[in-house]
Amino acid sequence: MKIPLRVLIIWVMMLSAISELFAYERRLRVPDYFSCERNLVTSWHGVISGYQRNDNSLDIEVSTDADTVELLTLNYTHPNELLSRFYLHDRPFNDLDWDKIESSSGIIKKKIPVTVWLCEDQKTKPLINWRPRKQ
């Protein structure tokens, strides 16, 4: 059976459009609380695979859904400065939320899902949106 070239071209175009649609659906919408020009935004979505928090810095390792491992260090002078860079299910993080991501002070629970928002403008500080599974 011979298929006309025109039909093949239309078929390829349709497959391409469907593929683009699914790729678009997988992209995360930049939250309103992240103030960065949209074309400068990068995000990592995955689970925490490394975590160390002390009095003035937080180091995290994210094993992403894209099969990469990303590292981030947040430095701060006051604990409230760190809290201001955290969100929990898209709402501001507060002191009462630590037990949702840590089993004890400085010890992260296993495989906590996160989205890290980064801006390439070198001014906007990264934000972490913690997404632990609801109990």
All structural domains of the chain with their residue ranges: 30-130
Q: Spelled out in words, what is the top-level CATH class assigned to the domain 30-130?
A: mainly beta
Q: Rounded to the nearest 5 degrees, what angle is found at the Cα of 37, between the Cα atoms of 33 and 42?
A: 80
d(CA 62, CA 45) in angstroms, rounded, equals 8
pLDDT at position 22 is 47
Q: Nearest-5° angle of CA 97, CA 125, CA 32?
A: 70
Q: How many other β-carbons are positioned within 10 Å of the β-carbon of residue 93?
A: 21
- With a CB cutoff of 8 Å and minimum separation 6, the contacts of 50 are 59, 60, 61, 71
Q: What is the mean pLDDT of the chain?
A: 88
pLDDT score for 134: 77
pLDDT at 26: 53
Q: What are the phi and psi torsion angles at 128 (to 5°)? A: -120, 125
* Residue segments in the chain with a per-residue pLDDT below the cut of 70: 1, 7-8, 12-27, 135
Backbone torsions φ then ψ of 38, nearest 5 degrees = -55, -35
Supply the pLDDT for residue 135: 62
Task: Give the three-state DSSP class for 100.
Answer: helix
